Amino acid sequence: MEIYSWNVNGIRAVKRKGFLEWIEETKPDVLALQEIRIQPHQIPNKLENIDNYYSYFNCGDKKGYSGVALYTKEEPNQVEFGLEIDKFDREGRVLTAYYDDFTLLNIYFPNGRSSQERLDYKLDFYDAVFEYCQELRKQGHSLIISGDYNTAHHPIDLKNPDDNRNKSGFLKIEREWLDKLEEHDYVDTYREFNPKEIKYSWWSYRTRARERNAGWRIDYHFVTKDLMTNIINADVLTEVMGSDHCPVWLKIETDT
């Protein structure tokens, strides 16, 4: 099974840039999207009903902001929307799909750059997600946590680490949360397979950073360690255009 995660920076915008053609060519088994920036009544039929896929959308209350979507060939046993915490669920940031072999969390983590208030919101969201994941594990679920985490973990994960140590996205307190994940047996799949390779998954439009490859790796598939025996490979698909992010890819062996 091949799982893709992609912050599309607007699902209608990426549709105009060949999104449907990319799906037809790539044929992902599961595709988790973040920052879809659409309301339920605005979703066109061509995006809601793609041949051979079940689709699920968790849209934020605010128009043109946030939201996640999931396309999947295999119908999940169950799909849940949000964390059951109103201040987070209003922004449509979490979608959980339960399969026989694993539970997939599609998450659009907040950006903390605009203000101290939003940084605090991001850190609170991190803590809520961690508690949510730990509870799922207590219930016996093996997890794949896919999405835009909005934080680069190590200096290798961004072009200019020294210049960004005091900026949200590379703050010590944000990176410590990713340390905490690893300390609790969650694995960064790309880095596990590519310990020294430098690839980025996001580039700023404002500075034409993609042309210079001055980017950040902030999109991940973290999995619980018990799944690692089934993980075949992971990659960052830098050649895929259409957004300021590129997709991240995971291949997993399943029994179904």
| Domain spanning 2-252, CATH class | alpha beta
pLDDT at 206: 86
- How many CB atoms sit inside 10 A of residue 161's CB? 14
pLDDT at 256: 64
Residue 148 annotated to the active site: yes
CA distances from 103 to 106, 128, 130, 225 (A): 10, 17, 15, 13
Below-70 pLDDT ranges, the chain: 256
Extract the tokens encoding 36: 């879809």
CA-CA distance, 77 to 235, in Å (whole number)? 27
pLDDT at 255: 83
Q: Residue ranges per domain, the chain?
A: 2-252
- Amino acid at the residue 49: N
pLDDT at 224: 98
Burial class of residue 32 (count of CB atoms within 10 Å of its CB; 0-12, 13-18, 19+):
buried
CA-CA distance, 107 to 117, in Å (whole number)? 20
Q: Which of 148, 157, 188, 219 is catalytic?
A: 148
Of 136, 132, 69, 74, nearest to 99 (Cα)? 74
